[in-house]
Structure 1
């Protein structure tokens, strides 16, 4: 609703694009569930205008070498809208068109107990059915000196970059984590692609 995932994804995109020979494209999933809140309610909640990021159709996924999926947390898992998008990839799954492709997950929560890690863990299930290779970010950045400073509440785990849905978007350390996640993921994706050629 507030664009936190989009802002985090733009940080990931920056990290991916910093790797020579790799290009990230930012897409939003084709969601079959229309907005349910009336415009007046969205205005009252101060929701920004909807994103102008291009929309991807499920069958277009087969053209990519890898994916970092981003979605907010809803009850400790991906929201129904994104699950509906993944459900629509059934034909790709049957043909195993995404098998062997690397995938990561970024997320956001509204509170510290909101379930950033469990959201990623529950989000891995559809990836497994596709035969994708889950690429976690790892412990490195989350235990770096900057990230261990507990003076500021922030998102992000070894499972992937994350943010708390507050204010104008990811704070500096969350943005750094997302860029590093993108950089790491791009290297893994590039190595897998080169090995398969």
Structure 2
């Protein structure tokens, strides 16, 4: 079985969660896991002005996804920051370039799951994941989320992301908050859950 963890991360939060998702996916026996980024669409000058140069540069060892190989996986774990309650533009642009796969039905029956981040606790994490699901449904994905068997999403003793739609993290207004252990465990649980379902579907 082959699994792809595909993400975009401007300030490092989604990158951290993607690493954890990939590591958890590798714990599934017989699972070949790839970690990749979607292409950047911003210029270096804009990235500099947004204060993201350091966090973008630290991800250079993660390859950019090869569109020709995008349809070759059984399970897909997507990570995106929130932009106005939707996936970030870099992820949107990538999916808008996959019309050829849609025309061939190349992704029909594949398992897809989404995790996200936002600046604030109610900054659109759930709507980002749910609106991402619309794109996956058009491509024919079998969607999985983060079931309540991950009990960490019911915690009220600390500020935390995660919902039945998918794992998430809260970056804070200045981006200074890093993913908590509860949020990281959420994305690890989600990754294993999606991969187990994909494994069952493959028979």
Q: CA deviation at 1:23?
A: 2.5
Q: 1:133 aligns with which of 120, 124, 142?
A: 142
1:148 corresponds to which residue?
154
Counterpart-to-counterpart distance in 1, 2:84 and 2:153:
26
Structure 1 segments, 4+ long, off by >2 Å, are 30-36, 45-50, 146-149, 166-169
CA contact (8 A) 1:160 1:181 kept: yes
Gaps of 5+ in 2: 1-9
2:86 pairs, out of 77, 80, 93, with: 77
Q: When you count strand as a share of all residues, which structure comes out higher?
A: 2
Quick check: 1:31–1:82 contact (8 Å CA) kept in 2? no
Q: CA deviation at 1:157?
A: 0.9
Change (3 A) 1:77 1:36: farther
Query: What is the rounded CA distance, in whole Å, between the counterparts of 2:112 and 2:47 in structure 1?
Result: 34
1:80-99 deviation per Cα after TM superposition (whole angstroms, max 9, x unaligned):
22111000000000001111
5+ residue gaps, structure 1: none
Aligned length: 189
Of residues 73, 81, 85, the one that matches 1:64 is: 73
Root-mean-square deviation (Å): 1.9
CA 1:83–1:18 in 2, change beyond 3 Å: closer, same or farther? same
Greater RCO, 1 or 2 (C-alpha within 8 Å, sep 6+): 1
